[in-house]
Amino acid sequence: MVEFSHLTKAYKKRVVVDDFTLSVDVPIFGFLGQNGAGKTTIMKIIVGLLAPTSGTITIDGSLATHPIFKKKIGYMPETPYFYERMTGMEFLRFCDELFEGGGNATAHYDALLKKVGIYGARDYEIRTYSKGMRQRLGFAQALVNDPEYLFLDEPLDGLDPIGRREMKEVMLDLKKEGRRIFLNTHILYDVEEICDEVGIIHQGKLLYAGSVKEFCAGKPLEERFVEVVEEREKQTP
């Protein structure tokens, strides 16, 4: 279970995350919002890339800032950037070595690469990879330490329709294995398809959190989403 408690992130002039409070206890949770809503910031705070201005995040009872937490998670940044001159396999191995006590056999990495579908390109330099291949590699490195929790920022961005299908299958497999997935997206269709619950974020605030069906209440998701956002806009001075 992941709990956000009054999480706030403010820069000098803007508040990017505003008193964010939420409890999540489902296999796949989606953060849905427009670009710039604060989704990426929230995820960066969870994985420790940014420090919150105030508020806490607890995971299974302990604070997310505790170092032990990082061993249990996998993270995939939005638009992943790699060391271009490494091969896919080298990069994966490097990521694994950063978990003290890593150093798995090559078979482990082979399996991962096959799972995400870039096994054939594993010995080519990343600079030769297409956008889709980079996304897949990003996904693979998030899984390299066999994590309990996965935090994926726009994981399907840049994938072609078949790629999107494949990765969604992977996510559902991971759900079956008992892992928990948090994903950021602005694609409504994906939310409908695989998320158990959704959190609607707008301008750093949580507008709704809960089951997708309940949120939709019979209407198309897109319509409901626009409704909620516009209502919010009216309220803000």
Partner 1 sequence: MRNIFVIAKNTLKLEVRDKILYGIIIFGLLYIFFTLFLSDLVLQELPMVKSFGLTGIFFFNAIIALFLGTTSFFKDVDRKVVYFILSKPVSRAQFVLGKFFGLCLVLLFASVILSVAYIGLILYEHGGFDALGLLAIAMQFLEMALFLAFAIFVSTFSSSLLSIVYTSGVFFLGHVVSTLLAAAKQIGLGGIKLMLVEILYYIFPNLEKFDARDLAIHAVAMPFTSFALAVAYAGVYIIILLSAAIWIFDKKEI
Pick 141 or 185: Cβ nearer partner 1: 141
- Site residues, partner 1 (CB under 8 A): 47-50, 67, 70-71, 73, 75, 77, 80-83, 85-86, 90, 94-95, 97-100, 141, 145
Please tell me the distance from the alpha carbon of residue 193 to that of residue 190, in angstroms, as a whole number. 5
* 118 vs 207, beta carbon nearer partner 1: 118
What is the residue type of 70?
K
Q: Which is nearer to partner 1, 70 or 232 (CB)?
A: 70
Q: Which is nearer to partner 1, 49 or 162 (CB)?
A: 49
Find the shortest distance in angstroms from Cβ 14 to partner 1: 13
Closest distance between partner 1 and the C-beta of residue 77, in Å?
4
Nearer to partner 1, 30 or 74 (CB): 74
Minimum distance, C-beta of residue 118 to partner 1, in the bound complex (Å): 16
Phi-psi region of 6 (alpha: psi -120 to 50; beta: other; left: phi over 0): left
Question: Which residue matches tokens 């950063």?
Answer: 98
Q: Which is closer to partner 1, CB of 11 or CB of 237? A: 11
Find the farthest-apart pair of alpha carbons in the chain and give their distance in angstroms, rounded.
Answer: 58
The residue with tokens 């969870």 is: 46
How far apart, in Å, are the Cα atoms of 120 and each of 14, 33, 163?
Answer: 45, 35, 15
Report H helices in the chain: 39-47, 67-70, 88-97, 106-116, 131-143, 161-176, 188-194, 212-216, 221-235
User: What separation in angstroms does the CA of 90 have from each of 45, 75, 87, 135?
Assistant: 28, 18, 5, 16
CA 132, 133, 136 angle in degrees (round to 5)?
90
180-185 and 28-33 beta bridge pairing: parallel
Q: To the nearest whole angstrom, how small is the minimum distance from the Cβ of residue 54 to partner 1?
A: 16
Task: Choose between 38 and 224: whose C-beta lies nearer to partner 1.
Answer: 38
Which of 81, 113, 80, 79 has the alpha carbon at shortest distance from 96? 113
